[in-house]
Amino acid sequence: MKSKASQSQGLLLFRLSQTQVFALGTLKVRELVPYTRLSKIPQSHPTILGASTIRGHTIPIIDMAAAIGYRPIAPEEREKCYIIITDCQRMIIGFLVRGIDKIIECNWRDIEAPSSSLGKNAYLTGVTRFEDQLVQLLDVELLLSKIFPDNPKANRAILTDVQREKLKPMNILLVDDSKVARKQLSDALDMINIPYRVTADGKEALVMMEQAALEHHPIDILVSDIEMPGLDGYELAFEVRDNPLTAKAYIILHTSLSSEISVSQAHQVGANEALTKFDAHELIDAMLRGADLALDKR
């Protein structure tokens, strides 16, 4: 059976330096605008250059080069720069970049995990090649978590004893290629003392689920990111549903995209729920619904 999940991903290529090409998934991008004058934001993060009013929204503008450790964009350079307006993690943010290259179509299977030799650069989720150039996919979630750190208490879910006992026996698997997202998911469950397994890779998740089923401990609840290299969340959901060994899992897809399109597509490939990450309360509520369904099937 052919997967309904699209393996093609639009990538916006841009530059933060003369030599290196970076990329963002186009689903995260709302629009591109030339540099515009900015108003200072008092007591803001050093990489926030100011705010701009674009189409009625006051949007913070971040020097993306400075944010990931490259040479900051000097004031005299800015007139030639562009702002990438993104919609990610329920925030509309602008990133000032030195240049926009083009938009390309890329197969997720052609995107590889970053080399361990790039370990010091924590802001990458994957790498690919285009016209013999290395293209580095930025981890926007990690970037935003550094600039707008969450209040840890705000993302702490509260469970009753009955709810905790309902979730504890569930076999839970978390899948996300973003380090910060994996930590958020793990922390949410650690704080309420719920066991789980975790991986950064969709292909590995599928193998883990098949193995768990063969060992008679099938995964009850799968929580997966949508945008992942190799095997994305849509395709993972479809493969899980299409395999009798794993088909009964309750599938929760989560995405940093504030988009109804991604939610609709998630249901089309067999996911039970799609969430805009990250909200611990919403995640735990969804997992409790999965636990109820799993208990009904036992």
Q: How far is CA 265 from the centre of its chain?
A: 16
pLDDT band at 259 (very low <50, low <70, confident <90, very high): low
- Please, are residues 287 and 171 in contact by the beta-carbon 8 Å criterion? no
pLDDT, position 4:
42
pLDDT, position 118:
58
Mean pLDDT confidence for 275-280: 77
pLDDT, position 154:
52
pLDDT band at 45 (very low <50, low <70, confident <90, very high): very high
The pLDDT of residue 207 is above 90: yes
The pLDDT of residue 291 is above 90: yes
pLDDT, position 21:
94
pLDDT, position 52:
94
Q: How far apart are CA 202 and CA 208, in angstroms?
A: 10
pLDDT band at 244 (very low <50, low <70, confident <90, very high): very high
The two beta strands, 21-25 and 8-15, are antiparallel
pLDDT band at 2 (very low <50, low <70, confident <90, very high): very low
The two beta strands, 197-199 and 172-175, are parallel
pLDDT, position 176:
92
The pLDDT of residue 295 is above 90: no
Which class in CATH covers the domain with range 8-147?
A: mainly beta
- Lowest mean pLDDT, pick from 85-99, 102-116, 229-243: 102-116
Domains 8-147 and 161-296 share a fold: no
Write down the domain spans for the chain: 8-147, 161-296
pLDDT, position 298:
61
User: Of 30, 90, 28, whose CA–CA distance to 277 is shortest?
Assistant: 90
Q: For the chain, how many helices (H) and strands (E)?
A: 8, 15
The pLDDT of residue 90 is above 80: no
- Please, are residues 13 and 129 in contact by the beta-carbon 8 Å criterion? no
User: Of 126, 70, 121, 125, whose CA–CA distance to 95 is shortest?
Assistant: 70
pLDDT, position 294:
85
The pLDDT of residue 296 is above 50: yes
CATH superfamily of the domain spanning 161-296:
Response regulator (3.40.50.2300)
The pLDDT of residue 34 is above 80: yes
Query: What average pLDDT is seen over the chain?
Result: 86
The pLDDT of residue 7 is above 60: no
pLDDT, position 79:
93
The percentage of residues in the chain with a pLDDT greater than 70, rounded to a whole number, is 89
211 or 7: whose pLDDT is higher? Answer: 211
Kindly report the backbone phi and psi dihedral angles of residue 60, in degrees, each rounded to the nearest multiple of 5, phi listed first: -65, 140
